[in-house]
Structure 1
């Protein structure tokens, strides 16, 4: 924690949480906003469904690749410069997407978008731990998760509205405008939270030594798996939403918002409870509660899909409860990751985000296309990905207590 933290931010704590949440929202918002326009974009640029899927995979893998460096750079150069440069590149890339007239150009600019969008979410986690002691950091992390949860709920609705009433280019011009607004807000408001004495030397040898230290640390890798992989048990359904909601549940596009509304309500509810439990319940117990909820509802979801034909009356609720369990435990696991290497919190946040992003990319490019046409396949895949997190936590728990 920065010893001068109390002088760096004098506004209410929720205001800093909101600013950091806006940074974290940039990534998921730029994923979900253009999903309703997939078909329209494909027709406009003459792309096949597989080529359109590449625009998503390019974003996610670009996000994962640069996540390895955002936090590391912030450990050496400071949190503020990395955030501002990341937003600036994201803004340029969004304009490039808006101007794209063929699929190759769109894939390229989406990759650049992904490479820059991660700066906000990676560095914001390090900022929280720079500014607050553990219990307060968990409360702020939970507040960030609550605000963060709004983005996936409203993004498809905003994107759908812009696509229907203007065109698909308007979606990316909208993201460009968001980038400009965020850059101005952070330039004026975001303080430099990395203390001068905590800066790491900026050279390749020191960087590689840090990566080796983290990559060879089984406790760190297990915590990264415990926090990053279970999210995909829910994210799988988000990626498969057009098929899951439109084909399996026979919902019209204008009714899709119910799925996003329930899922985000679960995330916000879990994050709210996580913040309320900070300092009252042991972190390990809170993580256990989250995993128990996710395991129970995943098994229930599997059983229901085995016995019944999927119906909207019950098929959306297990995903919302799963989201609640994930949001209950993830702020705590994230802080354990950061505190495992307090001298390299930026790099730890980078590595953690990279693990999750690689998993997201694999789910988007490989797993979702394989299982989305079967609700039973979706339920099994969701359970398996959540189980990876449980196994990782069971192994690492005795080693971090």
Structure 2
């Protein structure tokens, strides 16, 4: 923690939470806002479904790759410069997407978006631990988790409205505007939270030593899996929403909001409870509780989908309950990752984001297309993704 933290931010802690949450929302908005416009983009740019899918894959894998370096850069040059440069690059890339006249240009600018978006998500986690002691950091992380988790549910609604009203280019002009507002807000408000004495050398040898130190640490790997993979048990349903809601549950597009309402309610409830429980119960106990909620919900959801034909009135609430359990777990596990290596919090946040974003990419590009047309397979895939995190946490506790 920065010894000068109290003098760096004199406003109420929740205001910093809002600023950092806005940075964290940039990633989910970049992914999910343009999903409803896939058909319009394909028609406008004369692109095949495979080429349209490449716009998502290019973003996700560029995001995963650059996530390895955002935190390390912030450990050496400071949190503020990395955030400002990243948001500026994202804004320019969004303008490029809006003005693209071919599918190749769109894929290129989507990759640039992916390279830059992670700066806000990764560095904001390090900023939280720079500024707050453990219990307060958990409360702030819970608030950030709330906004981060809500974004994938809200973004398709916003994107669908913009696409219907003004065309697919309007989605990227909207993201450009978000980037401008975020850059101005951070330029005006965000202090440099990394203390001068805590800066690390950017020499290649020093960086390689740091990556090896973290990458070969068993506890770090298990915590990164426990925090990064279970999110996809919920994210899988968001990615599969058109097929899951329209084809399987036979909901009209105007009824999709029920799904997003369940998801948002679960995340808000879990994040609120996580913040309230900070300092009141042992972190490990809260993590067990969260995984317990996800595990029981996932098993019952799979059993119901195997035994009955899915109907909206019972198929949607399990996604919200799963989201509740995830939001209980992720703030604590994320802080545990950052505190493993206090002198390399930025790098730890980078590697954690790399694990998470790689999992997101695989789920979006491989898992979702395979299971989205069968509710039982969706439930099974969600259970298996959650189980990776649960097993990782269990192994960590036993060792």
Indicate the TM-score class for this superposition, using the shorter chain for normalisation.
Answer: over 0.9
Name which of structure 1's ranges 130-139 and 373-382 shifts more when overlaid on structure 2.
373-382
Query: Is the 1:152–1:264 contact (alpha carbons within 8 Å) kept by the matching residues of 2?
Result: no
Q: Unaligned 5+ residue runs, structure 1?
A: none
User: What is the TM-score when the length of structure 2 is the normalising length?
Assistant: 0.99
Over residues 308-361 of structure 1, what are the superposed CA-to-partner deviations in whole Å (9 max), with x where a residue is unaligned? 001111111101100000000100000000000110000000000000000000
Partner SS, residue 57 of structure 2: helix
| Matched residues, number | 399
Between the aligned partners of 2:128 and 2:253, the Cα distance in structure 1 is 38
Over residues 207-253 of structure 1, what are the superposed CA-to-partner deviations in whole Å (9 max), with x where a residue is unaligned? 11100001100110000000001111111111111100110011111
Over residues 251-292 of structure 1, what are the superposed CA-to-partner deviations in whole Å (9 max), with x where a residue is unaligned? 111211211121121111100000000000100000000000
Between the aligned partners of 1:157 and 1:370, the Cα distance in structure 2 is 24
Q: CA RMSD in A?
A: 0.8
4+ long deviations beyond 6 Å: none
2:308 maps to 1:320 = no
Q: Unaligned 5+ residue runs, structure 2?
A: none
Alpha-carbon deviation of 1:396? 0.9
2:122 maps to 1:126 = no
Alpha-carbon deviation of 1:398? 4.3
Between the aligned partners of 1:252 and 1:188, the Cα distance in structure 2 is 43
2:261 maps to 1:289 = no
Match of 1:158 in 2: 158
Alpha-carbon deviation of 1:397? 2.0
Between the aligned partners of 2:272 and 2:244, the Cα distance in structure 1 is 28
Partner SS, residue 306 of structure 2: helix
Partner SS, residue 149 of structure 1: helix
Match of 1:234 in 2: 234
User: What is the TM-score when the length of structure 1 is the normalising length?
Assistant: 0.98
Between the aligned partners of 2:294 and 2:61, the Cα distance in structure 1 is 27
Listed as ranges, the matches of 1:335-374 within 5 Å are: 335-374=335-374
Query: Is the 1:55–1:107 contact (alpha carbons within 8 Å) kept by the matching residues of 2?
Result: yes
Match of 1:48 in 2: 48
Between the aligned partners of 1:122 and 1:162, the Cα distance in structure 2 is 28
Listed as ranges, the matches of 1:208-223 within 5 Å are: 208-223=208-223
2:28 maps to 1:20 = no
Partner SS, residue 194 of structure 2: coil
Alpha-carbon deviation of 1:114? 1.0
Name which of structure 1's ranges 218-227 and 258-267 shifts more when overlaid on structure 2.
258-267
